[in-house]
Amino acid sequence: METTGTLYVVATPIGNLEDISARAIAALKQVDLIAAEDTRHSKRLLQHFAVSTPLTSYHDFSSDADVQKLLDDLSAGRSIALISDAGTPLISDPGFRLVEKARACGIAVIPVPGASAVIAALSVAGIPSDRFFFEGFLPAKSTQRCKRLAVLAHESSTVVFYESPHRIAACLADMAAVIAEPNKRKVFVARELTKKFETHFLGSLLEAVAWVASDDNNSRGEFVLVLEGRLEQPDSELDTAMEKAKEVAELLSAELSMKRAVALAAQIVGVRKNALYAVMLEKQG
Ligand code: SAM
């Protein structure tokens, strides 16, 4: 009877080769096959670590037949490591189709975690990291990008974006145009993380626009943008939001406990749970 192989999802460095883990090297050496986004690119990395495992290509445009071939290999008991050009596969990188299908076939999918630019940037930004929303790449066209930014402008969690050197200036300019109080809303620009020309900038959106324009080098390389969540609303807006949250909580409390109704209403309307709880208690006398 055949036992199925394992699909290892292996993170590789985002710049500095020393960021690869010992476990990642061991997994890459031990598997039967490495499925890489770009085999030519990965060959250099694998040579550096003396990994001689056979390589095959897997990317977003791989045909269904190619994906099926990998699944057949796994089902036949061969182990495969999935890698992307840099960082963690599936994080703005190929891999989802293969992982989804492998799971559906009952194949074990095991992470070998390591570098990811989103986490590296968040860990040094100095912007709240307790709750964050990962947006990845915004649309390339300004009209579409502004539409998406108009939605994200209301997000109270920190928002993390990936951006390319060609669009970094335009993207920051759109953020400053669409998001309220760009002179106050903070953004962290992480350029070339873990590499020779690593640069960090932390300031308001308007300051970031000026910083990128101040030196051509500031728009070269790879970027992560960490945007501070929506700032506290002015009192008048907050009062209106609290009124609305109170109404929602009252409706919900017909069906749910007060605690649950308040928690849900606060989440739906976007007010602080404790503040809404206090308002509801006051109302009850
Ligand atoms: N899977 C990768 C990860 O886990 O971070 C991301 C792949 S995505 C195709 C590439 C984007 O990630 C770049 O355009 C950039 O926005 C970001 N990125 C990757 N490496 C970076 C680095 N060293 N410094 C800053 N941003 C980086």
Q: Where are the domains of the chain?
A: 6-115, 118-227, 235-284
Q: Token pair for residue 21?
A: 């883990």
Separation of 92 CA from ligand 1 center, angstroms? 8
Phi, psi of 61 (to 5 degrees): -100, 10
- Say if strands 199-204 and 186-191 run parallel, antiparallel, or are unpaired: antiparallel
**Radius of gyration of the chain, Cα coordinates, nearest whole angstrom:** 23
Tens digit of each residue's pLDDT (9 = 90 or more) over 195-236: 999 999 999 999 999 999 999 999 999 999 999 999 876 666
CA angle 72/12/94 to nearest 5° reads 50
Atom 2, ligand 1: residue with shortest CA distance: 87
* Ligand 1 lined by 25 (C-beta under 6 Å): no
Q: How many angstroms separate the most distant Cα atoms in the chain?
A: 73
> Using CA atoms, how far apart are residues 158 and 249, in angstroms rounded to an integer?
26
Q: Which of 168, 189, 220, 224 to mutate to test the pocket of ligand 1 (most atoms within 8 A of CB)?
A: 224
Tens digit of each residue's pLDDT (9 = 90 or more) over 12-56: 999 999 999 999 999 999 999 999 999 999 999 999 999 999 999
Atom 13, ligand 1: residue with shortest CA distance: 222
* CATH superfamily, domain at 6-115: Tetrapyrrole methylase, N-terminal domain (3.40.1010.10)
The verdict on domain 118-227 having CATH code 3.20.20.70 is no
Segments in 82-226 forming alpha helices (H): 96-104, 117-125, 142-152, 168-178, 205-213
DSSP 220: S
* Ligand 1 lined by 12 (C-beta under 6 Å): no
User: Cα–Cα distances in Å, from 157 out to 86, 192, 220?
Assistant: 26, 24, 28
